[in-house]
A and B are shown apart, each in its own frame.
Chain A
Amino acid sequence: NAGVTQTPKFQVLKTGQSMTLQCAQDMNHEYMSWYRQDPGMGLRLIHYSVGAGITDQGEVPNGYNVSRSTTEDFPLRLLSAAPSQTSVYFCASSFEGTGTYTEAFFGQGTRLTVV
């Protein structure tokens, strides 16, 4: 059981480049979310999705885009990378499609550096 899988683990981008952070889960979870983790600031919610085709903004959505075409996948797109987006990004999933509450499971993270 893989849980939540994030790729890549590390990435260096130049300012202005775009890229997609991948997130996949195999637990039939309806709820998926993206957080960024910065020193001294905990984890802050970027975007979340309560099911395929449904997404919404979190606390810090600017500069990021998401879509949810399947239950399993929830990619995060950086449209035009900026140094302020240097961070560690975590994807999380929870809540089984059968209607059962679960804890939030986190991926291993993607460390992104924008130069």
Chain B
Amino acid sequence: GENVEQHPSTLSVQEGDSAVIKCTYSDSASNYFPWYKQELGKGPQLIIDIRSNVGEKKDQRIAVTLNKTAKHFSLHITETQPEDSAVYFCAASIQSNFGNEKLTFGTGTRLTIIP
């Protein structure tokens, strides 16, 4: 089955600096790669996703890049703000006609923004 590795497990950055979280996956058939943000006491919430037919996607301060050949994808957060502090999870799946089937998650990155 799919295996997703995520690094680093913890990350502290000064407010205003950039943060990068990296993930690798094992199943070359995976075609959907979402990133989730989890705030304390809440469920994960999608912040950005990318499908295997594109190499990069951007949404304001957040961007995701995908390298299918190397089987890795990364989350980039620029101009970090205190509200970016949370746990971030990457995931991979083979999206079929039934939707987000069998998401396999990384182990999470605890991001702390230092004011």
Q: Which residues of A contact B (CB under 8 A)?
A: 4, 29-31, 33, 35, 40-45, 48, 50-51, 58-59, 90, 92, 94-95, 99, 101-104, 106-109
Judging by beta carbons under 8 Å apart, are B98 and A90 in contact? no
* A94 CB contacts on chain B under 8 angstroms: 99-100
Decide yes or no: A48 and B102 within 8 Å by CB, A101-B95, A104-B34 being known contacts: yes
**Contact between chains at A103 and B46 (CB < 8 Å):** yes
Residues of B contacting A107 with CB < 8 Å? 43
The A interface is mostly helix, strand or loop, or mixed, namely strand
Q: B residues within 8 Å of A by Cβ?
A: 1, 4, 6, 9, 34, 36, 41-46, 49, 89, 95, 97-108
State whether B43 touches A48 (Cβ < 8 A). no
Given contacts A90-B44, A103-B49, A107-B43, contact A40 B100 (CB under 8 A): no
B98 smallest CB distance to A (angstroms): 4
List, sorted by A's number, 21 A–B pairs whose CB atoms are closer than 8 Å: A30-B99, A31-B98, A41-B107, A42-B6, A42-B106, A43-B103, A43-B105, A48-B101, A50-B98, A51-B98, A59-B104, A90-B44, A92-B43, A94-B99, A101-B95, A101-B99, A102-B99, A103-B49, A106-B43, A106-B44, A107-B43
